[in-house]
Amino acid sequence: MTPTGEVVLGIDPGTAVTGYGVVRRDARGTPSLVECGVIRTRADQALPRRLHEIHEGVSELIARHRPTTLSVEGVFYAKNVRTTVVLGHTRGVILLAGEAAGLRITEFSPAEIKKAIVGRGAATKEQVQFMVAQLLRLKSPPQPADAADGVAAALCALLGAQLPTLDSLPTLRRPTPSSPRRS
Amino acid sequence: MTPTGEVVLGIDPGTAVTGYGVVRRDARGTPSLVECGVIRTRADQALPRRLHEIHEGVSELIARHRPTTLSVEGVFYAKNVRTTVVLGHTRGVILLAGEAAGLRITEFSPAEIKKAIVGRGAATKEQVQFMVAQLLRLKSPPQPADAADGVAAALCALLGAQLPTLDSLPTLRRPTPSSPRRS
């Protein structure tokens, strides 16, 4: 739980596309979206150059929005171990940017974020996006999907257990994803 | 191959202990050890803090010795995937420090380093340490072992194929490790 008025920077790390979302909670406890987007790096560049760009991008977001908390999505253990290890490099420079700025750093697994936002650790991507839009009173989920994942990580840290879940909002239209996936 | 007089910083990344070695090649092509040691972090500290200390340590070495090349030992895929992923975080902040300083960055797998230093990719740690001491005209291998591994990474980048191998030094006393291990 964070103090009123707090700003959280949420990050969904990826070597090619890192999604981010900046969410603020006002004095009444209502969360609102400040900014979201993605940091893209080019696959034809060497890994150190890509890491540098991600680190610069995250550091710039921290300098601009002055969050008190950095919320980073945990490692998803991909089938390809090499992919997971490269993702570790990316997370390393993101955590470094937060630590260097003196931020409180929280890490949530993908399942924890889904559980917090939707109420189920096995929720689909579409359900997470739907709830993110509902919680922030957006007409549609943040785009691209990686940005929405960054926003979800921020919401997870900002509101934690106080979030309403998909199941507690029975009067809302629920998304009916065409291809349910389990994490 | 690097130009004459070049200084290389070699790093053996580890979250708990990161070994490093600074090696200079003089105008005649002879390598000499400038400094070696380890950066230790405490296991009871959070990962972001440990990453920050490793990044600061490497950045400080770069500022002090002004190497033109950073040579980093590649990922060893541990049996424990989590260990390998955390090591990825550590490598990420090390590569970042080199990239931010504009260094040429080379990466070698553990087997490539053994092959370059000893002549065999399956060389033992003791054989690597013996050859590192021979090449740098040291009375004994650098201590601790992680520091020697950092020096080996630096030598690998500095001299590459021009290194003599264990097999090409028949008149030298060879180490007879008590417990040969294969990588």
For residue B79, the chain A residue with the least C-alpha distance is A81
Residues B81 and A77: beta-carbon distance below 8 Å: yes
Closest CA–CA distance from residue A134 to any residue of chain B (Å): 32
Catalytic residue from among B73, B107, B149, B167: B73
Top residue of A86, A99, A103, A105 to mutate, by most chain B CBs within 10 Å, is: A99
The pLDDT tens digits of the residues spanning B13-71 come to: 999 999 999 999 988 888 999 999 999 999 999 999 999 999 999 999 999 999 999 99
Among B77, B96, B109, pick the best mutation site for testing chain A contact (most A Cβ within 10 A).
B96
* Confidence class for position A36, pLDDT limits 50, 70, 90: very high
Among residues B27, B53, B59, B24, the alpha carbon closest in space to that of B39 is found at: B53
Above 70 in pLDDT, residue A161?
no
Contact at CB, B105 and A46, closer than 8 angstroms? yes
pLDDT for A69 equals 95
pLDDT at residue A131 in the model: 94
Where does B41-149 show beta strands of DSSP type E? 69-73, 104-108
A149 is catalytic: no
User: B59-78, pLDDT tens digit by residue?
Assistant: 999 999 999 999 999 876 76
Q: How far apart are CA A107 and CA A128, in angstroms?
A: 18
Contact A89 B88 (CB under 8 A): yes
Helix (H/G/I), strand (E/B), else coil: A4: coil
Q: Which of A6, A73, A126, A149 is catalytic?
A: A73
At residue B29, the pLDDT reads: 84
Q: What is the mean pLDDT of residues B89-112?
A: 96
pLDDT computed for residue A63 by the predictor = 98
Nearest residue of B to residue A105, measured between CA atoms: B48
Q: Is A126 a catalytic residue?
A: no
pLDDT, residue B72, reads 96
Task: Provide the whole-model pTM.
Answer: 0.84
Q: Which of A69-78, A166-175, B142-151 has the lowest mean pLDDT?
A: A166-175
In the predicted structure, residue A177 carries a pLDDT above the cut 70:
no
